[in-house]
Amino acid sequence: MSHLTKSNEAFWWSLFSAGGVMAALFVPVIIFVTGFVLPFMMGDDLESQYDRMQGLITMWPTRVALFGVIFLSFFHCAHRIRHILMDFGVRWAGVALLILCYGGAVAGTVVAGVVLARF
């Protein structure tokens, strides 16, 4: 305890907590609404279902909201994996582990952004 190591963990942790709220609260709601409620309400015609769902997703507010949920969930996941690995003794990997985990989240975020923008 003789020395203190300055930490930027607050940044990752804030993304982790926000992502936790998304993953625990919003993702199940989205799955429930888009997977069960809407299909049941839309009747049997699969083709019109698809069109209407696409119409919903391509609205810009939906795209932005989905992007927020996906991006934060990725960072939640990355942080969790990084800490599990650290608990398993992979502390020595330090910056490499940081790049691997959060880099993965950044890559996932970029892909999600591109897919959502072009949908």
Partner 1 sequence: MPQETITLEVFRYRPEEDKQSTFQNYDVPYHEHWVVLDAINWIKDNVDGTLSYRWSCRMGVCGSCGMMINGEPKLTCAVFLKDYFPKVIRVEPLVNFPVERDLVIDMDGFMEKLKSVKPWIIRDDTDQMDQEYLQTPSQLAAYKDFSMCINCMLCYSACPVLDGDPEFIGPAALALAHRYNLDSRDKGNEQRQDIMGAEEGVWGCAFVGECTEVCPKNVNPAGAIQQAKIASTKAWYRSVLLPWGKR
Q: Please give the residues from 16 up to 55 whose contact with partner 1 meets the rule CB under 8 A.
A: none
Select the span of 11-19, 46-54, 71-79, 101-109 touching partner 1 (CB under 8 A): 11-19
For residue 10, give Cα distances in angstroms to 7, 14, 17, 81. 7, 6, 10, 17
**How many CB atoms are closer than 10 A to CB 94?**
10
**Which one of residues 44, 47, 60, 87 is an interface residue with partner 1 (CB under 8 A)?**
87
Q: Does 95 bind partner 1 (CB under 8 A)?
A: no
What is the gyration radius of the CA atoms in the chain, in angstroms?
Answer: 19
Q: Which is nearer to partner 1, 29 or 84 (CB)?
A: 84
d(CA 64, CA 104): 21
Name the site residues for partner 1 (rule: CB under 8 A). 1, 4-11, 13-14, 83, 87
